[in-house]
Amino acid sequence: MTAAEPTGLPRIDVMRPWLGEEEAVAVAEVIASGWVAQGPRVAEFERRFAETQQAAYAVATSNCTTALHLALIVAGIGAGDDVVVPSLSFIATANAPTYVGARPVFADVDPLTGNVTAETVAAALTDATRAVIAVDQGGVPVDLDPIRALCDPLGIVVIEDAACGAGSTYRGRPVGAGAELAAWSFHPRKVLTTGEGGMLTTSRADWADRARKLREHAMSQSAASRHETLLTPAEHYSEIGFNFRMTDLQAAVGLVQLDRLPQIVADRRRLAARYTEALAEVPGVTTVADPAWGTTSFQSYWIELGPDFPIARECLLVRLAEAGISARRGIMASHRQPAYEHRDTGSASLTVTDWLTDTTLILPLHHQLTDADQDRVIAVIREVADEAMPEHLSEMCVA
Ligand SMILES: *Cc1c(COP(=O)(O)O)cnc(C)c1O
């Protein structure tokens, strides 16, 4: 338990990574082996991850942002190209196309899932569109098939940003399995964690090979393989690469985390169902749910506050904080950030994005959240819903 809040009740965090003794032992073994950089553990993590996610190839990276960056490069995206992305996403989704000199063009999202659809992507297409990045927002699987049906005939590559997608399913398979390229995050805020870390999965051997080289300075031979011989052949660099490597320390943690994944997802889904049931009758509250085509890991459990809810989102965040509960504003909208505000990012309407980013909040959900903790969160929301806005809050809650 962390520091007690003024309420006297222990603080409830929005998220906590699920890490235990097994991860500590796995890291200690790597340290004892003397090889801590990218090596055999990373290779094993890639194999196991590809197997779990039903992907043909997996290439480990330093994080999901670098995996997205590599995905765009291997897909041949560069200067002069447009890449359709949701504005409603962590900013890395929009930054990746910017890194390769392409222009992110913002598409709106579906109000129920928070994800782009074939319709919102179609509304954002330009003559220069060469790729689309479709996000599984908060773990909610994006409806990929209609987007591919739109894009494939046009030669537009669809990349799945599955940063939050580990443990989510789409049409009976893990998310990402139906994408030519998918990028994953192992940041502690996500379902699986390696501290920092990421993965690129792909159905194409040539793209996997190129990504593997590019993540390691585009070196002709990996450092791990050169280490195997005393007299190493001279390496060469056929293009300009990057250092986007994962370490064996991280991969050792990742291997343990993969074993935990089914339990992590089962626990998250049980707690999510409890929230959904308890909040079903609260006027003005809509809860995130599984779409018709799949299941979510509930990497984020968000609620949307409609006009029937008596106070604004900012006020509810204050009320939760006063009760020792850390919630979060919903998913950000990149088009409203200074980094993109003054850039040309297309002309698609983003009204659903604006609505969701202003009215949603993410509730605490992690493996150490007890039913009693969860009941405290639910009690605050119900209490607020039952009362008119008190005078002092109207001043306090100005965003
Ligand atoms: C977290 C996140 C990222 C970035 O992941 P990192 O591993 O921190 O680089 C990218 N896209 C989405 C949708 C995310 O939620």
Note the pLDDT tens digit of each residue in 218-263.
998 887 777 888 888 888 999 999 999 999 999 999 999 999 999 9
Cα distances (Å, whole numbers) of residue 225 to 14, 59, 248? 42, 16, 14
Q: Is 248 helix (H, G, I), strand (E, B) or coil?
A: helix
Distance CA 90, CA 163 (A): 10
Contact 58, 43 (CB under 8 A): no
Q: How far apart are CA 89 and CA 74, in angstroms?
A: 23
pLDDT score at 1 = 42
* Residue ranges for the chain with pLDDT beneath 50: 1-4, 399
Mutate to test the pocket of ligand 1, among 142, 187, 191, 296 (most ligand atoms within 8 A of CB): 187
pLDDT at 280: 96
Model pLDDT for residues 271-288, shown as the tens digit of each residue: 999 999 999 999 999 999
For position 2, what pLDDT does the model report? Answer: 47
Ligand 1: nearest atom to the Cα of 92: 10
CATH class, range 21-258: alpha beta
- Determine which residue's CA is closest to atom 2 belonging to ligand 1: 163
CA of 33 to the centre of ligand 1 (A): 31
pTM of structure: 0.95
pLDDT at 395: 55
Q: What is the DSSP pairing of strand 82-86 with strand 103-107?
A: parallel
3-state secondary structure of 310: coil
Structure tokens at 100: 């390769």
Ligand 1 pocket by Cβ (under 6 Å)? 63-65, 89-90, 92-93, 135, 161, 163-164, 185, 187, 198
In which residue are the tokens 């056929």 written?
A: 238
Which tokens go with 19? 């890490």
What CATH fold (topology level) applies to the domain 262-393? Aspartate Aminotransferase, domain 1 (3.90.1150)
Ligand 1 midpoint to CA 226 (Å)? 32
Res 399: pLDDT: 45
Provide the pLDDT for residue 392: 52
Atom of ligand 1 nearest to the CA of 138: 15
Catalytic amino acids?
A: 190
- Predicted pLDDT at 226: 78
The Cα 281–Cα 142 span in angstroms is 27
Which atom number of ligand 1 is nearest to the Cα of residue 66?
Answer: 9
Q: Domain ranges in the chain?
A: 21-258, 262-393
Pocket test for ligand 1, best of 15, 63, 65 (most atoms within 8 A of CB): 65
